[in-house]
Amino acid sequence: MEAHRSSRPASGADHQIAHLWEMDDLHHNGERVSHGACVAVGAMAALRMFDWLLARDLTALDPARRAAEAPTLAAKEAEIRARFGPGEIAERAIEETRAKHVEGAALQARLTRLRDIWPDLSARLRARLWPAERMANHLARAGAPVEAADIGVDPAYLHRTILKARFLRSRYTVLDLLDEVGLLDHAALAALPQTLQSKVGT
């Protein structure tokens, strides 16, 4: 972070999820939930989405079709206002989203490259990322929260948070990749413990 003069290298989807809970002033058992606890649960959600994504074959992606189906910037702005409500946070989220949004030919080119490099990229990700189960074991050994319920977040709240989180920063994370390939809704459900997935209403 010091070398880059930015939190970007150490702050991805996990932190964006955590920041939303902190902005909501999340409390559990009468105490404010710490930043570290929020990030631990956010990391579990992100890793579960990566695990789910890495089991998919993106070489079957149709870039032209997906680019044509992808939401426009106007549609994203409408979603932001619906999810965040009126106010400064929504306007900032719109500004951040505008900075990274691509559509049309630019999105098709990005998705074509993703499809073409997916075998190599997925192998590199598997080599660098801990599976969610391994992270869960380490967090539990450290006495840290593992599941959203450990910090008072129910499945529906976690699901809503995941779907909102990509709008919070202009940085590109796994949330944006999943959204661009049309798989975010499915991956967000995969981020929940399996026993809870059926309890979430969209």
The domain tally of the chain equals 1
pLDDT at 92: 97
User: Whole-prediction pTM value?
Assistant: 0.91
pLDDT exceeds 60 at position 90: yes
Mean pLDDT within 86-112? 98
Whether residue 1 lies inside any domain: the answer is no
How far, in Å, CA of 132 to CA of 109, rounded? Answer: 31
Whether residue 37 lies inside any domain: the answer is yes
Query: pLDDT tens digits, residue range 126-162?
Result: 999 999 999 999 999 999 999 999 999 999 999 999 9
Q: Which residue has the tokens 């660098």?
A: 128
Whole domain around residue 104: which residue ranges?
8-197
